[in-house]
Structure 1
Amino acid sequence: MTNKGMAPNDMRRFVYTFIVIFLLLAGVTALIVWLVYRPHKPHFTVVGAAIYDLNTTTPTMISTTMQFTVVTRNPNKRVSIYYDHLSAYVSYRNQQITPAVMLPPLYQETKTTVALSPIIGGGFVPVSMEVCNGLVMDQAYGVVGLRLVLMGRLKYKAGAIKTKRYGVFVKCDVMVGLKKGFVGQVPLLGSPDCNVDI
């Protein structure tokens, strides 16, 4: 009697070959999709600043209200970006000098630019004597270095494909021209790009 079916070894070899070919095709497909839709990080740039209040008269406490205009650009041709849980605060010498303020969710189409102008501050924040003294000295000199921080989550969307949410952390180091007692729009010394970590 002859066995018309496959021998066990032949069957195993066929299954292994099928699995290897399937995995190779899946890997090549995933690589092609990734190369076509590979998302690039958004770009953030500070283009304007205003300081409406900066009160350092109370030792180790500071009250300030500031507004920064930040332009964010989505450089992707095929991928849009959703932002949520965005918040912003300002720090000086690595110490937070404003409370964090929540920003509305943001949807950014492909190859588009959006401007954000959050007003940040209000209320007193505890700080070190180094911060209070540094701000007084910098204002006397006329140049103050600040860091605007934006934090939140983002996800990428390409067609029907959406990625998981990623944490986004944006640091914008800016130098502003500021004299004590001045209120309003202050000159930016340069138009700095921000550092974006995802």
Structure 2
Amino acid sequence: MEDQPHQAPPPTPPPQPQGPQPIKMAPDQEKNNNINTRHMSRPNNTPRGIIICTAIILILSGITIFTLWFIYHPKNPSFTIVGAAVYALILTPSPLSSISTSMQFNILIKNPNKRVSIFYDRLTTFISYHDQTITPPFELPPVFQEKQGTVALSPVIGGGNPVPVSAEALNGLSLDVEGYGVMQLGVVVVGKLRWKIGLFTTGKKSVHVRCDVAVSVKNGSYGQVPLLPSPNSCHVNV
């Protein structure tokens, strides 16, 4: 038997160059990376959203307040002087013209509104003669007035404390008292009020009231004095 020729094995192909192999990540790490990528790519609209929501709330609040004010637009309260008393009246011409007096006035306040209540804050009252103040201001207590309600106040104003006045005012009041037995006075009330409409209460508004009255002081009579027929009107400005 003849020997078979020996065949060499086929040559081994050279190794092929390989690119970078993908790195495999654990499932939890891959999930976190995806979440971070989404957060980074999403624009931050939070400040803009807050501004838009705030603007909408302010606009709706303004519309609501305007609607309530339009529907329940309140009328001014009315003031009336229904009684008076003079407890002291001293006119001092020198060395400094001054008036010392103590008077009491009964004041009725009526609320004409059917749907609106009123808070009166920091009210003060004083008496004037020919537009000159002849008493120190007297502070009234806070008052809450129900719808269509009536409040009565009876402050004693002056307290006998002297108030400097002009010589003209002093001579005029002396002539009225001694010559005619009548004093033409102004009862002034100033302060702040708030309207209450349902659950909504407005901000404070200035109120100024002036009531012109004529009182009889004949024969030096003191105590309760009659109110003489006169316009006796009270002008209310809010």
TM-score after normalising by structure 1: 0.82
Of 154, 160, 163 in structure 1, the residue corresponding to residue 193 of structure 2 is 154
Instruction: State how far apart, in whole Å, the 1-side matches of 2:85 and 2:221 are.
Output: 10
1:36 equivalent in alignment to 2:71: yes
C-alpha spacing 1:88/1:27, structure 2 compared with 1 (3 Å)? closer
Contact 1:147 1:173 in 2 (8 A): yes
Runs of 4+ in 1 over 4 A off after TM superposition: 25-32
Aligned twin of 1:100 = 137
Of 73, 82, 85 in structure 2, the residue corresponding to residue 47 of structure 1 is 82
Instruction: State how far apart, in whole Å, the 2-side matches of 1:166 and 1:180 are.
Output: 43
**Bigger mean CA deviation after superposition, 158-167 or 51-60:** 51-60
TM-score after normalising by structure 2: 0.69
Instruction: State how far apart, in whole Å, the 2-side matches of 1:196 and 1:76 are.
Output: 15
Instruction: State how far apart, in whole Å, the 2-side matches of 1:58 and 1:110 are.
Output: 48
Aligned twin of 2:32 = none
Contact 1:65 1:119 in 2 (8 A): yes
Instruction: State how far apart, in whole Å, the 1-side matches of 2:63 and 2:126 are.
Output: 43
The Cα of 1:43 is off from its aligned counterpart by 0.3
1:62 equivalent in alignment to 2:99: yes
Of 59, 72, 76 in structure 1, the residue corresponding to residue 109 of structure 2 is 72
Instruction: State how far apart, in whole Å, the 2-side matches of 1:129 and 1:180 are.
Output: 24
Matched residues, percent identical?
A: 50
C-alpha spacing 1:161/1:28, structure 2 compared with 1 (3 Å)? closer
Instruction: State how far apart, in whole Å, the 2-side matches of 1:117 and 1:76 are.
Output: 23
Of 208, 213, 222 in structure 2, the residue corresponding to residue 174 of structure 1 is 213
1:137 equivalent in alignment to 2:169: no
1:197 equivalent in alignment to 2:237: yes
Correspondence list, 1:120-135, <5 A: 120-121=157-158, 122-135=160-173
* SS of match in other structure, 1:123: coil
C-alpha spacing 1:27/1:153, structure 2 compared with 1 (3 Å)? closer
Aligned twin of 1:85 = 122
Paired residues in the alignment total: 175
1:165 equivalent in alignment to 2:200: no
Contact 2:93 2:167 in 1 (8 A): no
The Cα of 1:34 is off from its aligned counterpart by 2.5
Instruction: State how far apart, in whole Å, the 2-side matches of 1:31 and 1:151 are.
Output: 27
Which is strand-richer, 1 or 2? 1
**Bigger mean CA deviation after superposition, 56-65 or 89-98:** 56-65
The Cα of 1:192 is off from its aligned counterpart by 2.2
C-alpha spacing 1:27/1:98, structure 2 compared with 1 (3 Å)? closer
The Cα of 1:77 is off from its aligned counterpart by 0.4
The Cα of 1:161 is off from its aligned counterpart by 0.6
| Structure 2 segments unaligned to the other structure (5+ residues) | 1-58
